[in-house]
Structure 1
Amino acid sequence: MKPIEQMPISIKGFSLKLSDDASLTSSQRIELISKKLPELRKGQVLVKILASPVNPSDLVHLLGKYGLKAESGLFVGFEACGIVVHANAGFYGKYLVGKRVALSAQPGHDGLWAQYAITKANYCLPVTDAISDEQASTLIVNPCTSVCLVERAIALGAKAIVLNAAASQVGKGVIRYATSKGISTIACIRNKQHAEQLIELGATQVLVTGDENYQQILQDACQKYQAKVLLDAVAAEDTARSLKAMPNGSTAIIYGRLTETHDPFGGIFPVADVIFRDIKIEGFWLAKYIGDASIWQVYRLSQKVQRLFTSGVFKTDIHKVVDFKDFAQALDHYANNKSDGKVILKPNADEGR
């Protein structure tokens, strides 16, 4: 690891190119640039990036439809694994220097698809040596979301959960973690080829949304298992359709919007059910959860997730590991084949650590 005085003056990474052209692929919305490494502000750390995955939230951000404003010229990428090389962040920052961490991008600042990144110290979580760089790079966004969603469902008194996009990494994590907690899962997918895998992971029942009698089968399953919590990554029509099949007093927790729509709002809710059937709708955004929590709350969540990784309960499916040169092609593959597994960028692959 280079001493701080030998850090490069400029760094390479993928930045966002804003465009209103809806036909552009994900790779056409980014460009590889070099720019000056900024100085650390108070509370920040500098991290050498070892691995950084592509998540659905990254794709939505490239479209300019995420909860954070898309800004041209900023590096993109929300999640990574790296080594902290410098800190301006008090005791915790000093503790992190030299350690390998899972990290999230600081909202409104450069992202993590770059050789180096600057973020807040409390967005960095030390990781055990038992977890590879590739797996550690996926530690925060999906596994932490899976755990938080299941624990919120437990707090709501759920005995069973309905989840859409169940073949996603969050969906698989929810199934694994809910099963370990004795919570039944009704997993809804678009492609039946994933059904057997989800059953092997512990899904109680798998439904294919395109089946002719899907709505009735979903309603029967919700009644059978008393599923009163919906974990919704799809939004739009799927929210209302799913809630229609669920018992009175059910709650939808919406944490994503995978529906391919250019509607900037993207929500369709059953207003009559909210009024007359005591249906409730709430949102979950991990970035806000981490931003509002104390360092120690986030640290405890990280330790729980890492134990689930090392025990084999959690494992991220990885399709391909690439460098800058091969990233564009791999990015477009992921955009069209998310269930194949993650694409991982290694921006310093030719340098080692």
Structure 2
Amino acid sequence: MLKAEYQHRGKVPQDVIEAVELTLPALPAGQVLVKVLAAPINPSDVLTLTGEYGMLPPLPAIGGNEGVGRVEQLGEGVSNLKVGQTVLLPVGSGTWVTHLHAPANKLIPLPDADPQQLAMMTINPPTASLLLSEFVDLKPGDWVIQNAANSGVGGYLIQLAKLRGFKTINVVRRESAIAEVKAEGGDVVLVDGPDLPKRVREATGGAPVMLGIDAIGGAATDHLAASLGEGGTLVNYGLMSGQPCQVSAASFVFRDVTLRGFWLAKWFQKATPADQFKVFGELTQLIAAGKLKARVAATFDISQIKQAIAAAASGERGGKILIVP
């Protein structure tokens, strides 16, 4: 058994983490032994290793915030699960491991579907879903603009928007990303630049765009803000550029654009169990039915954690990096 552990944080994420032997104690009552089937590496995981994320676990720590596993052994008193069942692992449980103990009442049984796709459902799909529903009351036929459209959240957002009848303008930072975003179902794909607003108006025939979604910050935020219609809302959920969001006063003063922020962790804190069940119930059904999926660029074993982190931190991969023990 192995775990991907880090004792400190540093600027080069792959340098601070390594695969070490894992020894689990006797299985406590009320818990189950789970074999991890798949666990993704998200941008937030990389930022946690560098110390730049908004919520950092105490050290030493095991990496990984989401994933799925298979129940291998039941602790005393566990009656709600069965050996062999696929389960969704608790958020933040240190999922870059071959095996773990988890409280039975914190594990969610999953349908029999692709474990790699199910492993990515806890963070990116609900982020995309909530970005589309929580800020602007969109109607079928409405336009949405997003940058980082070739990211994990970007891909889910394109698919969910199409299922809900919305049209997407998808902004990328390099020409080589255009084909993959079009293949995902993006209605319009544009390379970012200062003239983005003009090209957006041409692509939409001048239709107002009332929701913008920004994952980059810096000048890219301003390009999206200037592309929105009067009274539009721009939501930032990431800072891939490492620069503060920039928005011209003209967007705020003359066109009444609003800039908001979104962090899934905050939503989890405020959402009722019924709200969470509604969101995850829909997403689970879509993923199990193959109607919602993410590209997988590569898979790595726990023993290859340094290579996996380096791949996840690189800027030109064509999909998600997964740990598959």
Pair in the same fold by TM > 0.5: yes
Q: CA separation in 2, counterparts of 1:146 and 1:318?
A: 18
The residue that corresponds to 2:208 in the other structure is 226
The residue that corresponds to 1:128 in the other structure is 111
Matches within 5 A, 1:55-134: 55-84=42-71, 85=73, 94-96=79-81, 98=83, 99-106=85-92, 110-117=93-100, 124-129=107-112, 131-134=113-116
Q: CA separation in 1, counterparts of 2:2 and 2:188?
A: 46
The residue that corresponds to 1:216 in the other structure is 198
Alignment counterpart, residue 235 of structure 1, candidates 214, 217, 239: 217
The residue that corresponds to 1:245 in the other structure is 227
AA matched with 1:179: K
Q: 1:121 offset after TM fit, Å?
A: 6.5
The residue that corresponds to 1:351 in the other structure is none
AA matched with 2:80: Y
Alignment counterpart, residue 256 of structure 2, candidates 254, 278, 281: 278
- Checking the alignment, whether the CA contact within 8 Å between 1:122 and 1:295 is kept in structure 2 is no
Q: 1:230 offset after TM fit, Å?
A: 0.9
Q: CA separation in 1, counterparts of 2:199 and 2:257?
A: 20
The residue that corresponds to 2:3 in the other structure is 13
The residue that corresponds to 2:172 in the other structure is 189
Q: 1:66 offset after TM fit, Å?
A: 1.0
Q: 1:276 offset after TM fit, Å?
A: 4.8
Give the direction of change, closer, same or farther, for the CA distance of 1:81–1:202 in structure 2 (3 Å limit). same
- Checking the alignment, whether the CA contact within 8 Å between 2:196 and 2:223 is kept in structure 1 is no
The residue that corresponds to 1:327 in the other structure is 305
Q: Cα RMSD (Å) of the superposition?
A: 3.2
Q: 1:50 offset after TM fit, Å?
A: 1.9
TM-score, normalisation: structure 1: 0.78
Give the direction of change, closer, same or farther, for the CA distance of 1:342–1:74 in structure 2 (3 Å limit). same
Q: CA separation in 1, counterparts of 2:16 and 2:282?
A: 36
Q: 1:157 offset after TM fit, Å?
A: 5.8
Q: CA separation in 1, counterparts of 2:227 and 2:28?
A: 50
**1:146 equivalent in alignment to 2:107:** no
The residue that corresponds to 1:255 in the other structure is 237
Q: CA separation in 1, counterparts of 2:252 and 2:30?
A: 43
AA matched with 1:341: G
Q: CA separation in 1, counterparts of 2:246 and 2:57?
A: 24
Cα deviation digits, residues 150-209 of structure 1 (max 9, x gap): 223553568211100001121111111111211111100012223233233332211101
Alignment counterpart, residue 19 of structure 2, candidates 14, 19, 32: 32
**1:201 equivalent in alignment to 2:184:** yes
Uncovered stretches (5+) of structure 2, i.e. residues with no partner: none
- Checking the alignment, whether the CA contact within 8 Å between 1:222 and 1:247 is kept in structure 2 is no
The residue that corresponds to 1:6 in the other structure is none
Moved more, 53-62 or 216-225: 216-225
Moved more, 316-325 or 294-303: 294-303
Moved more, 315-324 or 45-54: 45-54
Q: CA separation in 2, counterparts of 1:18 and 1:255?
A: 26
Moved more, 36-45 or 284-293: 36-45
The residue that corresponds to 1:160 in the other structure is 143
TM-score, normalisation: structure 2: 0.84
Q: CA separation in 1, counterparts of 2:151 and 2:30?
A: 34
SS of 1:234 mapped into structure 2:
coil
Give the direction of change, closer, same or farther, for the CA distance of 1:344–1:105 in structure 2 (3 Å limit). same
AA matched with 2:8: L
Cα deviation digits, residues 90-135 of structure 1 (max 9, x gap): 9xx85246432223434xxx52112334667776432110x12211
SS of 2:62 mapped into structure 1:
coil
Q: CA separation in 2, counterparts of 1:43 and 1:284?
A: 35
Matches within 5 A, 1:300-339: 300-337=278-315, 339=317
Q: CA separation in 1, counterparts of 2:26 and 2:145?
A: 46
AA matched with 1:66: Y
Cα deviation digits, residues 57-116 of structure 1 (max 9, x gap): 11111111111025331111111101355579x9xx85246432223434xxx5211233
The residue that corresponds to 2:265 in the other structure is 287
